[in-house]
Amino acid sequence: MSNSNSHPLFKSHIEKATRFQLRKPTPNKTNWDTFYKLSSNENLMGASPKALAAVKQAIDGVYEYDHYDDFQFQDKLADYYKQEIKSGQFITANSGVEVLEIICRGLVSVGAECIVSSPTFSPYKNMIELEGGVVVDIPLSTPDYQLDIDEILNAVTEKTALVFITNPNNPTGTYIEKEKIDHLIEQLPDDVIVVYDEVYYHFVDADDFPYAIDYVKAGKPVIGLHTFSKIYGLAGLRIGYGFTTPEIGEYLNKIFRPFRIDTVSMAAAFAALEDEEHVNRSQKMVWEGKKWLYEKFEELGVEYLKSQGNFIMFKSPIPSLELTSNMLDEGVMIRPGDNFGAPGYIRLTIGTEAANKRFMDVFKHFLEK
C-alpha cells in the first residue's frame, strides 16, 4: 500500500522497490604511488585499442544524430555471429543492465514471480520490483555455491514469468554445467523465459560450459545477455546487448526509443568486435593471473572458490569489511561479499601482474599483523 502522504500518481510497487546503490569508497590516506581498483571486474588491460581509435574518429561527429535506430548494430552483431542469429533477434542497449531493464519492462507484470538465486547480481531484484514483480529467491547451495535446479523447478508456479541464471555467477565465479542447464530448460514450462546472463563467458575455460547461443538456436525461450564492459574494456561507455528467439526479439524490440545508443559507444562496439587480439591478450592475462593467485591463496591457507570469471571470491581470514577498508587505505580496492549475500567473503578482480602482486603484498601484510 502506498504511503498516505505520497502523491496519488505514485505507484505502490515502485515506492516499495529496493533501490540499487553502489557508492565508491574513498581511501583515508594516499601513501601509495598507484591505486588499483580490483572491485568491479573491469579489464585492467584497458580498452580495446581498435575501439579507442574508433572513439577518437567518432568524436568529431557527436554534434549530429547518426544512428536513428539500431539496425546497423543489429546487422553488425548478426555478421559477428555468422548469421546464426539474425538481425531482429538482438536487443541492443546502453549496457547489459539496460537490456535487463528492457526485459523486465516487457515481461514482468504486477504480481508476476521471477526466480533468482543469491548470491548473484543484485540489480535483478531492483528491476523486478520496479515492475511490480515478486522476487522468489532460491539460494545457491553452500559451500559450493551451485544452482539448486530441483528447488528452482519446485518453486515454479503459474505466476512464474522469468528465471534469472548468471553463468558464470557473479560474485562467486562458479558455473553450472551444461547437463544441469539442459535439464532445467527442458523441465521449465514453455511460457517461462530464462534470462541467461553470461557476461563473463569470454573468461570461461571449462569444457562443459553451456552457452546461451545454443539454446537460442534451438528455439528455446532463452535470452542471452552480453556486454562490452568486461573483455573489451568499455565499461565506461555503457553498451551491451541481448539475443533471443525471433518471437521474443520482435516483441522486446518494440521497447525502443530513437537515438538510444550514442554514436561514440556504437563506433567503439563495432571496432571492439573485430579486435580478437585484444580479447586473446585479456584472456591470457586473466587465466595466468588466476593460476598465480590460486597458488598464493593455497600457500597462505586461504579458502577460495574456483572461478570461471575474471575475478575470484575468497574467504576473508579477518572480518571482510575491516580487510577491505584497510586495503583501500593502502591503494587496493576490493569488494566485500556482504552486499551480494556472501558475508565473510571478498570478491577480487584478477588484474595485471603488477596489480595482482600489489594485492597479494598488501593482503599478506594485514594477515601478518
In a domain, 12, yes or no: no
In a domain, 105, yes or no: yes
Q: What is the pLDDT of residue 29?
A: 66
- Please check whether residue 359 is in contact with residue 38, taking contact to mean a CB–CB distance below 8 angstroms: yes
Q: What is the pLDDT of residue 161?
A: 98
Q: What is the pLDDT of residue 2?
A: 47
pTM of the complete model? 0.92
In a domain, 242, yes or no: yes
In a domain, 16, yes or no: no
Q: What is the pLDDT of residue 52?
A: 96
CA distance 28 to 13: 39
Q: What is the pLDDT of residue 309?
A: 97
Residues 323 and 208 in one domain: no
Residues 244 and 134 in one domain: yes
Residues 287 and 188 in one domain: no
Residues 198 and 290 in one domain: no
Name the nearest CA neighbour of 137 among 145, 126, 150, 125: 125
Residues 90 and 230 in one domain: yes
Residues 163 and 206 in one domain: yes
pLDDT, one tens digit per residue, over 165-215 is: 999 999 999 999 999 999 999 999 999 999 999 999 999 999 999 999 999
Domain boundary among 274, 299, 329: 274
Domain boundary among 252, 274, 296: 274
In a domain, 8, yes or no: no
Residues 270 and 300 in one domain: no
In a domain, 6, yes or no: no
- CATH number at 130 reads 3.40.640.10
Residues 244 and 350 in one domain: no
CA distance 198 to 319: 31
Residues 102 and 242 in one domain: yes
Residues 236 and 286 in one domain: no
Residues 69 and 194 in one domain: yes
First to last CA, the chain: 52
Task: Write out the residue range of the structural domain in which residue 191 sits.
Answer: 49-274
Cis peptide bond prior to 143, omega within 30° of 0:
yes
Q: What is the pLDDT of residue 1?
A: 44
In a domain, 104, yes or no: yes
pLDDT, one tens digit per residue, over 264-315 is: 999 999 999 999 999 999 999 999 999 999 999 999 999 999 999 999 999 9
If one counts the domains in the chain, the total is 2
Which residues of the chain carry a pLDDT beneath 50?
1-2
Q: What is the pLDDT of residue 50?
A: 96
**In a 10 Å sphere around its CB, with 0-12 CB exposed, 13-18 middle and 19+ buried, how is residue 243 labelled?**
buried
In a domain, 13, yes or no: no
Domain boundary among 240, 274, 308: 274
Q: What is the pLDDT of residue 23?
A: 59
- Beta strands across the sheet bearing 311-315: 311-315, 345-349, 335-336
Residues 323 and 258 in one domain: no
- CATH number at 33 reads 3.90.1150.10
Quick one: cell of 288?
Answer: 595466468
